[in-house]
Amino acid sequence: MINIAIDGPSGAGTSTIGKMIASKLGITYLDTGAMYRAVALYVVRRGVSPLDEKSVVPLLDEIEISYSPDKRILLNGEDVSSAIREHSVSKAASDVSKIPAVRLFLVAKQREIAAHNDVVLDGRDITSYVLPDAKFKFFLTADVEERARRRYQELKERGAQIDYDTVLADIKDRDFNDSHRAFAPLTKTDDSVLIDSTHMTADQVSEVITGYVLGNAQKR
């Protein structure tokens, strides 16, 4: 199996790049971030704080995450592809992901899929925890100001009423949370290829990664 693992901080473009690579190589893209967002959305809808571990854990038995034939994410059968991209859900996803039981719940699903399919996975701990034995591992990053600018532009295009400084503050907060959580924090593993995309387009990054995979697939 060809498993491509991509990690990186919020706003680095891991999801965008992951989807492009999967399309270029004709393999499955598994949106791990969307899975955490779906859990966060369910928790918030139930009126529970994503930081309240004792209240969140029992809710996991009520959650079923799947994908429609056209790759839209479903939460208990409901298409939540747009709802999980709301700005408020982003912060909730970061908070709920710090709960070990939530991570174990979703990691088990991700590993099962990767064991039987050629996949691209992206997130915060794919290279270090979810798929430590993946054939291809990358760490994608960019300056925090550039990541905030990209996220701000994305939100504005969706009609969100938010200012750049708020987005920047949230990005910095997520960076701290993701890299300082006790369980499977964001980190660059020694065997991951580092790519700084501050001055690169998404197309350029995807070309670099795709070229690396194709050039080394037969060497492994």
Q: With 60 as the cut, is the pLDDT of residue 220 above it?
A: no
Collapsing DSSP states into helix, strand and coil, what is residue 66? strand
Q: With 80 as the cut, is the pLDDT of residue 131 above it?
A: yes
Q: With 80 as the cut, is the pLDDT of residue 67 above it?
A: no
Q: With contact defined as beta carbons under 8 Å apart, do 7 and 138 qualify?
A: yes
When pLDDT is averaged across residues 41-61 and rounded to a whole number, the result is 96
Q: With contact defined as beta carbons under 8 Å apart, do 3 and 114 qualify?
A: yes
Model confidence at 218, pLDDT cuts 50, 70, 90, reads low
User: Which residue would you say has higher pLDDT here, 5 or 220?
Assistant: 5
| CA nearest neighbour of 34 among 53, 49, 14 | 14
Model confidence at 189, pLDDT cuts 50, 70, 90, reads very high
Residues in the chain: 220
Range of the domain at 164: 3-219
pTM, full prediction: 0.77
Q: Which tens digits make up the pLDDT trace of 101-116? A: 998 999 998 898 888 8
Q: With 80 as the cut, is the pLDDT of residue 69 above it?
A: no
CATH of residue 39's domain is 3.40.50.300
The number of domains in the chain is 1
| CA nearest neighbour of 40 among 82, 92, 1, 3 | 92
Q: Which tens digits make up the pLDDT trace of 169-181? A: 999 998 998 898 8
Collapsing DSSP states into helix, strand and coil, what is residue 191? coil
